[in-house]
Amino acid sequence: MSAYLSLKEIWRNKGRFFLFSLVIALIAILVLFTAGLGEGLASANKEYLEKLDANLLVFQEGTGYSTIESRLDYTKVKRISRVDGIADAGPIGFSNAEIYLGDDVAALDISFVGIEPGKPGLPAPIIGETIRSRQSKVVMIDERIADAANVSVGDYITIKSTQSTDDKYFDLRVVGITSGQQYFFQPSVFVSLPVWDKYRPKADPNISSSRPVTNIIAVQLENPADAEAMSTRIEAAVADIETTDIKTAYESSPGYSAQQSTLNTIKGFTFLIGALVIGGFFQIQTLQKVPQIGMLKAIGTPNKTVASAAIMQIIFVTVFGVAFGGAVVLGLALGLPSSVPIFFTGTSIGITVISLLLIGPLGGMVSIRLALKVEPLRALGM
């Protein structure tokens, strides 16, 4: 009975309900895009670290897990590797550089990452092969660079690096392409540590080492479940270091938490606005329908039927709106260029969609309460 009433009303007022569903769809689009943007920006910030094949990261003590501030001399790699329970350890150095694409074309900003071949820190290639030699002037690049610079395995890229006060250009051959390896909002170029130290931007171009000072050390454990105890053990065995897990590391990166809390606040407010808009709409609609609800009750319609008809309408309108908005977002997401930092994960979409579906009934709660409280005699003016 309640389904009959609610669907008939929707059907006979298609335009009104469609427009309202459209409002919900717009809210859904906004929330989903904010969620996608949050994921995308977070991912652009942390992607490399998040996908790192390591259980613990080692930083210089007192640097607050900042990859930029942390400095570790090469001897620490060996000492950490010798700690009981460590499977492998790989030093990683970060700097920023550019890829030169021609005089008339803007250079492409990149994260220039130095790794130790065969050690933790070097991602697996999706095309081509990995870096095998410490001395070879070869690189692995993120697929975004391959797309943007239109290069493939076997091609050369030119790294533009400022050393002293001069711009220097270094040609490196691409041996492999990796997927999803952004760091600090820039796609990564991986080279061996000696090559990295030689070509990275620095004050003195003549100083470089095959065992350079790096930023962090990625550690693989024999027993990953034992991370906490191992963290303590490493810190006890090697002086002037601190260790942490990957999540804490990227959450500690500059601006990460500020950025995420900003986006979460926007998302929260959009949800709140959504709930208020839905609540307001159904409240106004119920107020307009008071005499009609009163009449329905006066002819013997149970309160339960009146309430469930209202709930069904709210659910129908919300589901339709969210589905419509979701479809639009999906279509837009497929058509967006990879440079737009919007990224959707099943979990974030799932949570967002469920939350959107819940705000409908939540917002409509007040109107349902109002509908239940309608007094037939008063509503009919008797």
Helix axes 303-335, 14-50, angle to 10 degrees: 50
Residue 161: strand pairing partners: 168
Q: Which two tokens stand for residue 209?
A: 């080492």
Which of 15, 300, 335, 337 contacts another protein by CB under 8 A? Answer: 300
DSSP at 188:
E
Q: Which is nearer to another protein, 18 or 74 (CB)?
A: 18
Closest CA to 156 of 138, 173, 170, 137: 173
Query: Binding of another protein at residue 5 (CB under 8 A)?
Result: yes
Q: Output 173 or 378, the one with its CB closest to another protein.
A: 378
Per rule CB under 8 A, is residue 210 in the interface with another protein? no
C-beta closer to another protein: residue 296 or 365: 296
What is the rounded CA–CA span in Å between residue 27 and residue 328?
12
Question: First CA to last CA across the chain, in angstroms?
Answer: 26
Please enumerate in sequence order all residues whose Cβ is within 8 A of that of 184, keeping only pairs 6 or more positions apart, or say none.
Answer: 45, 94, 96, 111, 253
Q: Which of the residues 136 through 155 are near another protein (CB under 8 A)? A: none
| Calpha distance 111→96 (Å, rounded) | 5
Cα–Cα dist 207/128, whole Å: 32
* Binder of another protein out of 62, 64, 302, 331 (CB under 8 A): 302
Residue 13 beta carbon to another protein: minimum distance, rounded to whole angstroms: 6
Contacts to another protein from residues 358-377, by CB under 8 A: 376-377
Query: Comparing C-alpha atoms, which of 72, 62, 64 is closest to residue 121?
Result: 72
Beta carbon of residue 11, minimum distance to another protein (angstroms, whole number)? 8
Binds another protein by CB under 8 A, chosen from 102, 154, 346, 381:
381
In the complex with another protein, the residue whose CB is nearer, 9 or 98, is 9
Contact 139, 157 (CB under 8 A): yes
Helical (H) or strand (E) element with 91: strand 86-100
Burial class (CB in 10 A: 0-12, 13-18, 19+), 319: middle
Nearest approach in angstroms of CB 292 to another protein is 6
Of 13, 135, 164, 248, the one binding another protein (CB under 8 A) is 13
Number of residues lying near another protein (CB under 8 A): 27
Is 118 a residue that touches another protein (CB under 8 A)? no
Under the criterion CB under 8 A, does residue 296 sit at the interface with another protein?
Answer: yes
Minimum distance of another protein from residue 14's CB (angstroms): 11
Asked if 8 is part of the footprint of another protein (rule: CB under 8 A), the reply reads yes
247 binds another protein (CB under 8 A): no
Sign of CA pseudo-dihedral 17, 18, 22, 25 = positive
What is the smallest separation between the CB atom of 283 and another protein, expressed in angstroms? Answer: 19
Residue 140 in contact with residue 217, Cβ under 8 Å?
no
Binding status of residue 1 toward another protein by CB under 8 A: yes
Please identify which residue in 203, 239, 299, 334 interacts with another protein, judged by CB under 8 A.
299
- Asked if residue 101 binds another protein (CB under 8 A), the reply is no
Contacting positions for another protein (CB under 8 A): 1, 4-5, 8-9, 11-13, 291-292, 294-303, 305, 376-377, 379-382
